[in-house]
Every structure is written in C-alpha cells, then in structure tokens.
C-alpha cells in the first residue's frame, strides 16, 4: 500500500518525509500521549465497570473523546442520537477508528462485536472496558447465552451499537446490511417490551489536513484487514488532522419496519444516503466553503 503514495500532494498535504516503515515525530508524541492518558483512565474504568451499572460509561466516554483529540480526529455531528430508553444504533463500519468515534458520543451504549475481538490484545481490553458484548456467529450452542446477555443489558437501560455489514469497508459505499445480524433487534425489542428504537447512523471520513479525502487516500483511515493492525495504526498516527462526520437518521421500531429484513433494508438505505451526501458535499464545495456551512448547521465536537 505504501508504494501508492510518493509525494506530499498524494498524501493530501502530509510531509513528504512520511514513511510507513518508521515512526514520525508526531506519531511518537501521540503514542506517548495515549499511554500517559490510558493508564490512569483504564485503571479507574476497570473499577467502574465492575462496581457501577449506571455510571460505567463515564470513564470509557472520556477516554474515547480524549483519543479523538490526541489522534487529530475532528468529529462533526448532524442530527442527534435518540434519547430516553434503550436504542440499537446501526452504523456502517470503516475500521477501528469507528469504535473511538462512536464510543465517545453514544452514552451508555455497548458495542456488539465478533467473539474473536476479545483476544485482540489492546483492542480486546478496550472492548471489555466498554462492556462490549461478544457474539459467536458460528456456534449455535452459544445463542441462548448471548441472547440472555443482550436481554440483561437492555433491561438495565443500556443501548447497543451494531455494525450490520458484518465487516469493515473502504468507506466509499455501504455494503449490504445482513438481516441475520438484526436478530439482535428482535431479542432486544422483546426485552424492552417492544419499545426499542433502532437508529441508523452514518460514519463518513471526509477530510485530511484540510483537503477532501480522495479515494486513493482511504486506506489511511479504512482498515480492511489486508494490512497488519499495528502498521495501520502507525500510519494513521502520522496524519495531522482528519475530519469525520456522524449523521444520525430518523429512528424506527421493529414493529413499524414490519420484519427483520425490512428493518435491515431501511437502515441500509438511510446510511447509504447519508454517506453519499457527506462525500458529495465535500467534493463539490471543498473545505474552504463547506466548513463555514457545516459550522452553522452541525455541532462540532
């Protein structure tokens, strides 16, 4: 992947001495900052997860928002997350950055992730401290236990975050939302006495260093699994500033959708339309014009 980028222009304004093989000074500073912040926050968060059912998110949310600042991630928010009761947020998935972006904005919301992530070192630890529910999609024998965990979490008033594509993407388009993954919605809806709100959420990485993010630069923010996670992290830590937009769409209930398949289709259509709007606006108007308009219409965090 590194061979595709040879000049500062192709990096969208990055310094030409950036090398994938080594660390930049900015990257080293960010690594040091991450370690200094994470040690005390994780220590407190580990206690809060075990001791408190109502305030566990405070430490996790603080850590995610702080990581966004350290990593140079500017978050723009359009619309608002649904409040008042448990919500199932259905979002497109681009890479590990999504966890940090959404984790700091969705209160009392836990991720639903594949069981393999529990053993992914630092990421696995981060997931556990965010009370992630790990789901094994291949072993039917675990279905009841997993359903009980989801039911318990919903009855506690917590929300859930689902990536219905089932995999990460390049962020250019939305992959088909798997209706089978919305079985979570059926279980959660039953646990909430059929009052569960399902809210589609669009994530779009639109700018890098003040310029629209080009298709050729997307591997710098999208983690597709063909690059080692550590190498991808090292590349991203060298970027100066990245803008990501979160758009919250109109919520829907399972009853209003009619069935799981129609629910998946509705969420996919809403998220896909939001992604197209974000990229079309950025490419058509450019950052110098788009930013003042976005500042007037959106909430930047």
Kindly state the average pLDDT of the residues 163-170.
90
Residue 286 pLDDT class (50, 70, 90 cuts): low
**For the chain, what is the domain count?**
1
Helix (H, G, I), strand (E, B) or coil at 300: strand
Top-ranked range on mean pLDDT: pick from 41-45, 69-73, 107-111: 69-73
Report whether pLDDT(130) > 80. Answer: no
Q: Is 88:187 a contact under the CB 8 Å cutoff?
A: no
pLDDT at 4: 40
pLDDT at 71: 92
pLDDT at 201: 98
Kindly state the average pLDDT of the residues 204-225.
82
- Whether 6 is in a domain gets the answer no
pLDDT at 256: 94
- Whether 205 is in a domain gets the answer yes
Residue count of the chain: 301
Residue 105 pLDDT class (50, 70, 90 cuts): very high
- Whether 183 is in a domain gets the answer yes
pLDDT at 119: 65
Report whether pLDDT(248) > 90. Answer: yes
> DSSP letters along 67-133, please?
HHHHTTEEEEEES----SS-EEEEE---STHHHHHHHTTSTTEEEEEEGGGGGSHHHHHHHHHTT-E
Question: What CATH number does the domain containing 147 carry?
Answer: 3.40.1130
Q: Look up the domain containing 246 and give its range.
A: 18-300
Q: What's the pLDDT tens digit per position in 57-91?
A: 778 888 899 999 999 999 999 999 998 788 999 99
Report whether pLDDT(290) > 50. Answer: no
Q: What's the pLDDT tens digit per position in 183-214?
A: 888 888 888 888 899 999 999 999 988 888 87
pLDDT at 277: 93
- Whether 12 is in a domain gets the answer no
- Whether 8 is in a domain gets the answer no
How many Å apart are CA 215 and CA 172, to the nearest integer? 7
- Whether 296 is in a domain gets the answer yes
- How many Cα atoms occupy the beta-carbon half-sphere of 220 within 13 Å? 30
- Whether 13 is in a domain gets the answer no
- Whether 7 is in a domain gets the answer no
* Least confident residue range of 166-170, 249-253, 295-299: 295-299
């Amino acid at each position: 992947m590194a061979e595709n980028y040879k000049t500062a222009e192709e990096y969208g304004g990055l310094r030409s001495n950036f090398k994938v093989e080594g660390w930049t000074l900015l990257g080293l500073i960010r690594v040091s900052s991450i370690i200094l912040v994470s040690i005390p926050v994780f220590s407190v968060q580990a206690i809060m997860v075990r001791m408190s059912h109502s305030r566990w998110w405070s430490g996790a949310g603080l850590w995610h928002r702080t990581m966004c600042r350290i990593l140079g991630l500017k978050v723009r928010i359009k619309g608002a997350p649904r409040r008042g009761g448990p919500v199932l947020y259905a979002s497109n998935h681009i890479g590990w950055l999504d966890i940090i972006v959404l984790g700091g904005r969705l209160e009392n919301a836990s991720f639903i992730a594949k069981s393999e992530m529990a053993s992914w070192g630092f990421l696995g630890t981060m997931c556990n401290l965010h009370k992630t529910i790990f789901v094994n999609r291949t072993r039917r024998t675990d279905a009841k236990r997993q359903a009980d965990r989801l039911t318990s979490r919903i009855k506690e008033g917590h929300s859930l975050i689902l990536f219905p594509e089932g995999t990460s993407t390049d962020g250019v388009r939305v992959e088909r939302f798997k209706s089978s993954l919305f079985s979570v919605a059926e279980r959660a809806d039953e646990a909430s006495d059929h009052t569960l709100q399902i809210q589609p959420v669009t994530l779009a990485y639109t700018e890098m260093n003040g310029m629209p993010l080009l298709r050729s630069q997307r591997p710098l923010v999208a983690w597709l699994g063909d690059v080692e996670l550590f190498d991808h992290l090292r590349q991203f830590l060298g970027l100066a500033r990245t803008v990501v937009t979160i758009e919250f769409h109109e919520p829907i209930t399972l009853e209003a959708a009619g069935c799981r398949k129609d629910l998946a289709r509705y969420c996919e259509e809403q998220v896909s339309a939001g992604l197209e709007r974000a990229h079309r606006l950025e490419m058509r108007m450019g950052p110098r014009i788009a930013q003042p308009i976005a500042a007037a219409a959106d909430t930047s965090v």
